[in-house]
Structure 1
Amino acid sequence: MTLRPSLPWLLFTLAAALVAMYLAASAVLKVEAAIAAAVFALVIIVSAIRTNAPAWRRPPGATGPTPREALFSTTQLMMISYLWCAIAFYAIYLGTHTRWQHGWEYGTAILLIAGAHAYYLRRLGDPADNMSSPPAIERMVRFAACQAFLIGAGLIWLIGSGKLATLKGDWAANQLFLAGGFAVICLSAIIVKTNSVLTERHAN
């Protein structure tokens, strides 16, 4: 259960989506920018499903990934998602004529979150680390579930407030919030599902 076989395709597609959104934002093509952001989210979600689905379908008693290995794989995608959004914020609000005074601030905050995920992955990759213990993994799974609900509430507010149709310069940021938030919600749900399946299987 690893991203390694599909990583070149994944990174190439995400880079293409990033360039497409940057070019669309440069020309203030909001629909095209939204499509590029949607492609990013779709690629991330499909990658997570393709990586986790074999564990869901594996028959009882068959060998497979451990909860730690499964969490590591999907957390990698979550880190990539945050990193993609951070780079997009910087590219759009520092590299185009689209202006929003908080663009670089949100970009930096999201970059720090990506960095925190990278640090967590480094520790999770070590089976002897405290972060790799079953109780620590269960805490992270619960955190993923809470994260999904909180981001979901934020996206409901974002959509209901009408900010996606704004004429201000934060239109691109709102598209990134929507696409990135939806991707993280799906990844969090996948983490919860896979951990539940693997934990039950290992218990039996």
Structure 2
Amino acid sequence: MDSKIYNIFIISILFLVIFLSSTPLPIKFFMAAMSIVFFVPKIRSIVFGKKMIQRKIKAAIYTSIIFTLFWLCGITIFYKSLEFENLSLVLFVFFFSLVGNFSYGLSVSILSEFIITKLTSYRVLTSCFVHIGFGLLTYFIFVFELFIFCTSCSIIFFVMDVLLRRKENSPTILQKKMDVAT
């Protein structure tokens, strides 16, 4: 029962963030449509039954933080000084990258995971193409100026997901010592 409440809570928060944002209405509907992946029973059983959703959420958060830090570095390189207005712009960038990563990026990453579970080889390469392909797809969906940012986030999201998956699958030092002892 707690699992169902948790799932409903996560989905409700996701839709709340999408519809309370100040993005144009067509983009909100697109993000909501991508988020409906959570409601498809086959995909939902894959996602919510394992640790994968936690890994994807971590990847989305880390991607937003890393993207914002890269963006902040770019601001400091071009403008040489940080003013309060630039710092508020950093929060703006972080918020919208978080919204984009949780609605569009998370949905694409789950779709990628669903696709690669059927494959036996070239799983990482296929996942890379799906992530970057949907990042490039934003050229046709969103404004051209956002295309570079969306593609950058998709690359960072893919790298973070792969790193977190490897960390999840590799044994810890304590587990290695226990295996040697037995």
TM-score above 0.5, yes or no:
no
TM-score range, shorter chain: 0.3 to 0.5
Q: Which has the higher contact order (CA 8 A, sep 6+)?
A: 1
